[in-house]
Amino acid sequence: MKKFTLSLLLAFPFLVNAQYLRGTFFIVASCKNGIVLGVDSRASIAYDKNGKPHDVAYYDRFQKAFIIKDFAAIFSNQTSFNWLTISHYVQQFQKSIPEKGNIPERIKQWEDYARKNLGGGALKISVLFAKYEQGQPQIGILDGPNRGFTGPQAFVTNDRTYDFRPTRYWERNTKEVAQMIEQSIYSYAKQKNKTKTVGGPIAVINITPLNSITWLSTFKFLKIDSSLDAMVNPNKYGIEVHYNSEADKKEHFEYVKKLKEILKG
């Protein structure tokens, strides 16, 4: 995006406040033969109304989980900054770091990158990092300025009010736990009345004790670099937008119309 276009957009706060994507629920568990990471792929488009987010629409297959060098990561909370998706920043981050590193090093590397490239936005992202080190599962969490690390029988979600935690999950195999995680994410969305912000195909990553990291899920993520272009030209990316109401659809159309007028100017 050209700098003058971004500067012009920043002159209209009501537009900037509408760009972020909300939602996300993940579950990560260390089991008998590996670590399993599962996260939904629904992106909820929200506007800022009276200081609170107002969800107007959503679409699926948005990427929040990534395999980066020798570790896997899940990004949650706000996943679009300066009209660029988290995928854009992850691609750039991946180019800037060495091939190998432990979890504390990876957390520090992301912190340094995010502070430099996202500014205050760095504190709005929560990131979970996972890998094996010398046959032991290593999971770290960066939530704003806070860091946390888990033990070998790790079980992590980003909403502590919901915990499906199967009996002795650490003795179950990854395939079984992956199925439980997928089912539980959908159950969570229904029980918490969050189906408009949490859902879509579930992205699942498996990490073996030898630190071989692979995708268990088979669906294809949408390839979106610019959330601005995706907003204005959804068909270009194969995005199927679902509106929460006719009023929200009308409001969104007016919003996109204003965006196009600014971009033409």
Give the bridge partners for 115, in sequence order.
Answer: none
Rounded-to-integer distance, Cα 213 and Cα 228, Å: 32
Share of the chain above pLDDT 70, in %: 91
DSSP 201: S
Per-residue pLDDT at 3: 43
86-140 pLDDT, tens digit per residue, is 999 999 999 999 999 999 999 999 999 999 998 777 778 899 999 999 999 999 9
Per-residue pLDDT at 191: 93
**Structure-token pair, residue 136:** 């032991």
Q: What does pLDDT average to over the chain? A: 86
Per-residue pLDDT at 8: 38
Per-residue pLDDT at 64: 96
Mark residue 17 as left, alpha or beta (left: phi above 0; alpha: psi -120 to 50; beta: remaining).
Answer: alpha
The values of phi and psi at residue 257, to 5°, are: -60, -45
Which tops the pLDDT comparison, 149 or 245? 245
Mean pLDDT lowest for which of 10-19, 84-93, 216-225? 10-19
The 3-state secondary structure of 11-72 reads CCHHHHCCCCEECCCEEEEEECCEEEEEECCCEEEEEEECCEEEEEEEECCCCCEEEECCEE
pLDDT of 192 above 70? yes
Do residues 36 and 195 make contact, with C-beta atoms less than 8 angstroms apart? no
Rounded-to-integer distance, Cα 68 and Cα 71, Å: 5
∠ CA 224-230-235 to the nearest 5 degrees?
105
**Using 50, 70 and 90 to split pLDDT, how confident is the model at 193?**
very high
The SS3 of residue 146 is: strand
**Using 50, 70 and 90 to split pLDDT, how confident is the model at 21?**
low
Model confidence pTM above 0.95: no
Residue of 72, 33, 24 lying closest to 178 (CA atoms):
33
Range of the domain at 101: 3-264
- Split into its structural domains, the chain has a count of 1
CATH number, domain of 124, equals 3.60.20.10
35-78 pLDDT, tens digit per residue, is 999 999 999 887 777 777 788 899 999 999 999 999 999 999 87
Per-residue pLDDT at 168: 78
Q: How far is CA 256 from CA 51, 120, 234, in A?
A: 21, 26, 11
Which tops the pLDDT comparison, 175 or 144? 175
What's CA 165's distance to the chain center, in Å?
22
Do residues 111 and 142 make contact, with C-beta atoms less than 8 angstroms apart? yes
**Using 50, 70 and 90 to split pLDDT, how confident is the model at 19?**
very low
**Structure-token pair, residue 68:** 């980066």
**Structure-token pair, residue 88:** 């854009």
229-253 pLDDT, tens digit per residue, is 888 889 999 999 999 999 999 988 8
